Structures are given as structure tokens and as C-alpha cells.
Chains A and B, each alone.
Chain A
Amino acid sequence: MKAADQKRLLREMIFFRRFEERCFEAYMEHKIGGFLHLYSGQEAVATGVLEMTRRGKDYVITGYRDHVHAIKAGAPAREVMAELYGKETGSSRGRGGSMHIFDPTAHFMGGYALVGQPFPLAAGLALACKYKGTDEIAVCFLGDGANNQGTFHETMNMASLWHLPVLFVCENNQYAIGTRIDRSTAVTDQYKRVCGYNISSSQHDGQDIDTVMDAAAKAIEHVRSGKGPYFIEFLTYRQRGHSMSDKTAAYRSKEEEAEWARRDPITLYRDKLVKAKVVTDADVKAMERDVSNEIENDIVKFAEESPVPKVEDLNKYVLDDNPDPRWIGPLQNS
């Protein structure tokens, strides 16, 4: 990989971390409401996988921890932040919020709050790609906890049976809210669970972005070349609580948190690039400053200054607002 690309990737991850931390601050100031799930600590997974997909062509879908996936897939960060602020300029026009970012222009087909629901939707997106005869694929990111839903098993069966071009990315951060994986799941290696459906799979370190990119490239090649679905598992860790109200002390130790903090994906990549003389410490400092400025003076400013949706538009978007009277009517009684 070229040095310029390595620098860009490092900057992107720093940007994503700062974006999420800025969301936390805005939440504390009551600028953002509802449930807010931050991605800090897992950046190498979405950044690395989506670095290897085709932007705006391949479909991407995920759960509620979706800001970073949306932005890396191509949704403008300004619009994602405006969505969190409940503004009309948001990705979902302020109707969805943090858990429901949509950007069909980027083929980012949503964040969903129902754990496990994106599995079949992803298979459907993949079915459409295959049906239309394109070589586009669908990429579905979900957590370890989602694999205990019926939709996981139902969808793995259909995806394999129909050879659908779908990549399932399991972000195994070891916890579903406060339940550690071995307390909820009989087989803790997630990649083993799809063997019963005859789906190729593998497990990798999710903290090292180079490992993520290498593994993702192979998996994507498998899916795109028509070999059917692939299930890729990344071991990772969320640094913050599950959502804003969650205190991690009840279910995990300080030692465990410190252990994973040593393997922070941004620190790992930064050290690697410094060692390889791709960047200097001063470059990184400058990058951090630059990212902070961009987020503050462009992205947050845009969200702050954007208008809220009009109350008169409450009933917009429930059904097609411009239906064709040939199919819809209404029927006239004489």
C-alpha cells in the first residue's frame, strides 16, 4: 500500500474516533437524544473492510452502532452529524436518528435497531445484485450477540443455498451489552457457527487494520467471484459502554479494559507507520488538530446551524407521497 493511502487511513481512523467522542460530548450537552452507541475501539474493522469494497456500488448494512460504517461507505459526515442532531439536513431527514442512518446514494442501506434484523435484508440486497447480473455484493456488519437470533440461522441457510453474494462481517467485541459471550453462547468462536450451513469462514485480529484489509480482500474476492457467501469474524473490543447509560464496571474488569486499550487500533497503526517512517509524531499531532478543526468548524457547525424538520411535515414519508392514481385510486363511488 502506498504511503499516501496509509496516511489517509490513519487520518480516517483518527477522524472516526474524534467523531464518536464529539457525539458523546454533544449527548452530554443534550444536543443529541435517544440511544447513542459509539464505535470507539472497533475502527479498524469498518475502516479496513470498507476500504476493500466498491464505494457506492456494493451495498452496506448494519445495526445501530452505525455512524462510522455509514461515513466510510460514503455518507457525508456532516449529514450523519445533522441526523444525530435531529435536523432536516440529516442523512434520514431527522426521522431516524443515531440508530437509523440511511444513505442510498452511497448504497448504505441502513442502521437497524432490531438485533439480527439486517441478516435477511442483506441477503435480499445480495439476491438483487445477483438477479440483476452485476458483480456487486452486499456487506452486512453485525455483533457477536446478533448470531443468537433466529435470523442468523435462517439467513445463513438461504444465503448458502442460493449462493448469494453476501459478506457477513461479525464484529466480535465479546459482549452483548453486559453479557460476556461465553455466558450467552455455546460456541464462542463465531466463525465456526456457519459450518453447518456450508459457508466459508475465518477469524482474524480486528485491531490491526492491515490484517483486516488482507482478510477482507480475500473474503470479498471469494464473494464477488461467485463462490457464495463468506462469514468473516474479527476479534475486537468496544472501549465505551454499550450505549450512553451503560457502566461497564458491572461486567468487565479494569485489567481487561487496559489490556485491550494497549491494542487500540489507532495506536497500533500509528506506531507502525511511525516506525516505518511513513509519518512522524508531529504529523500525527497535526492530523489530530486538523481533524478536530474539521469536526468542530465544519461538521458540528453544519449540524448546529441546520433547521429542524417542519412539524407540518410530520405525516410525510409514511407512504409514497406522490402515489400513482392508476394503482392507488381512490376508487370513486357513483
Chain B
Amino acid sequence: MAELAYWEAIRRAHDEELANDPMVIAMGEDIGVVGGTYKATSGLYQKYGEKRIIDTPISENSYTGVGIGASMAGMRPIIEIMSINFALLALDTLINAAAKIRYMSGGRVSCPIVMRTPGGTAHQLAAQHSARLARVFMSTSGLRVVTPRGPMEACGMLKSAVRCNDPVIFIEHERMYNMREDVPETEFFRPLEGAEIVRKGTDITLIGYNWSFVLCMKAADMLAKDGISAEVIDLRSLKPLDRETIRRSVEKTHRVLVAEEDEAAVGTGAEIISIVIEDCFFALDAQPVRIHAADVPVPYAANLEHAAIPDEHDVYKGALKVMGRI
């Protein structure tokens, strides 16, 4: 085992996949000479050269389209978009092209790209740098959406995403790049599909993904001090969703909370609670709770930002509400 930061885990996955398959390339703004805004591709330009590590102009929609076109001719591009906010400019090529080409060609053409990008709020970056947007992609047929919760998942899932034949939206988180974890030194893969029960419990199911999963784990520690045993699920994949794992857990605990950093409307929480109602309504002993961001553009002032975005205390309080303790 070796301790790696999240950004190092992503760099390692790039490095191994670039070494493994000459059809793998990486492209994005400042990923080459600079090594990436979050260092996730540092050193790779020096190692693999400008043919494979491509610094692009600031043309999100079209350089994503270039990656998609290359993938249609057999290449496997890893496309970095510096922040998920900027991915809005690439929605045409991602959603209108990559997500639909396999289907509208009757399965004859595929687009094996990975689009990596950090989503989520960091520290006072204000409204135009704090988008989360997972829900935009998880509601699009033809895409896979994954959200690694830590370095081990980031490395193993990125490698799987590169080898997968579908377009994969790989959502990282600005607050997680320096998170550290022990990772096997030998090559390993983590599957793209399936939610994971990371902490077993009996009284309530807490469901989150990347950063909101971290909040759920912290809240579970706080609940344990109150004698409440929380089961914590990392969704891992937002598309497709693992309904089965959610259902089995709720049938055991009879109580459920979903945490997300997005606004609530038409989001992950809304989708999960709908699934719970459709699949195991009669198992519920209490009304479900969604923990989510305030319905406002993310503010700059630290106190306002704090009030807008959920933290572990919000998850903890929400869980107490489900438990009938408040």
C-alpha cells in the first residue's frame, strides 16, 4: 500500500492507461505544460509528449467534440474540463453527440471518451465557479456518470472508465483533491457500476456520493455517539443507479436520508426518494429527508456560502429528524 492524494491517484490512473494503450490520449486546458489546474496530469506531458497530452485552446464545446470524433475512429481520449461550470459550454457535444451516437447509429458507432471534471463548491469561489450539475448528466440517456469518493476509487474507476466503451462523465470534487488514502501499489480496477455499503448499520440509511458521501460518514460518527447505528451508502455511479442496493438497505433500516450538494429540484435526492417509494414504500417507518443546497446561486461571503451548502451537521440533524429525535 502507498498513501496517495486524490490528485495523485488520478495522475497514476492516467499514467497506467497511457502506458497500457497507445490509443489513449489526454486533452484539456493547461493539462500539459502546466500539468493541470489540480495537478492531475502533472509530469505526463514530459513523459508522453505533446502528441498524447494535448493542451487545448479555451474552446470547451469543440475540443470535447474533437475528442468525441477521435473516439469514433478508435481512440480513447480522456478529456479534462477545468471546472464543471465550463462543461455547460460542452453540453452540445456531450449530450447531443456523445450520449446519442451509439443509439442513433443503431449500435454501429461508439464514443469511448472519459470527460473528467471537478464539480462542487470549494471555498468562496462564488456563483460561476460553484456549480454541481451532476443531475444534468444523470438525466441523460447514453451516458455513464461516476463520482469517486476517494483516491482508491478515483484511480480504480478512472482506469475502468478509460477501458469502458461508453462515454463516461467522471465527476471529481474541488475539495477532495488533497484527500489522502492508502492505495494498493499493484495495478487494480474498481467497477463503474454498483453502489457500495461502506459502513454497515441498522437504524437508518444515509446515501451520498463523493463529497456528500464524506458528509454522511462524518454524520454517522456523530449519530453513533447518540446510540444510532447508521448504514452509509456511496452511490458511486449516478447513472446507472443501483436500485437494488438502495432497496435492500432501506428494507433493513426502514429509514432513509439522501445528501447531495446540488439544489434539490429534479436532483439525485429526488430520484433516490422516488426509487425508495416505488421499490420499498411499505418498508418505510418514517418520512425520508433530503439534505441539499439552498435554492440560490452560490454566494461569495463565507457565512452565506456556509449557509447555502450542506455540511455534516446538516446531515446529522436531518438524520435525527428521520429518527424522530427532533
Residues of A with Cβ closer than 8 Å to B?
59, 61, 90-96, 100, 102-104, 109-110, 112, 114, 117, 119-129, 131-132, 138, 150-151, 154-155, 157-158, 161, 316-321, 323-333
Contact = CB atoms under 8 A, between A and B. Distances in A.
A132 B22 CA distance: 9
Task: Count chain A CB atoms within 10 A of each CB in B71, B191, B195 and give the residue with the most.
Answer: B191
A95 B51 contact: no
Interface in B146-179: 159-161, 163-166
B104 A92 contact: yes
A328 B71 contact: no
Interface string B50-71: 0100001101011111111111
Contacts of B309: none
A329 B192 contact: yes
A321 B107 contact: yes
Contacts of A93: 106-108
Contact of B66 (A96, A100, A124, A331): A124
Interface of B: 25, 51, 56-57, 59, 61-75, 92-93, 96-97, 101-110, 141-142, 144, 159-161, 163-166, 189-197, 236, 242, 245
A87 to B, nearest CB: 11
A119 B267 CA distance: 33
Contacts, number: 192
A163 to B, nearest CB: 12
B66 A102 contact: no
A154 B61 contact: yes
Contacts of B190: 331
A104 B144 contact: no
A125 B72 contact: yes
Most chain B CB atoms below 10 A, which of A150, A151, A154: A154
Contact of A157 (B59, B104, B142): B59
A91 B144 CA distance: 26
Given A104-B105, A329-B192, A320 B110 contact: yes
Contacts of B196: 331, 333
A317 B97 contact: no
Contacts of B193: 328-331
A131 B236 CA distance: 34
A330 B196 CA distance: 10
21 contacts: A93-B107, A93-B108, A95-B103, A95-B105, A100-B104, A102-B109, A104-B109, A110-B104, A114-B97, A119-B62, A120-B69, A124-B67, A124-B68, A127-B66, A128-B73, A158-B56, A158-B57, A318-B102, A320-B165, A323-B166, A331-B195
B164 A120 contact: no
Nearest to B249: A333
A320 B67 CA distance: 19
A324 B163 contact: yes
Contact of B107 (A129, A316, A330): A316
A110 B109 contact: yes
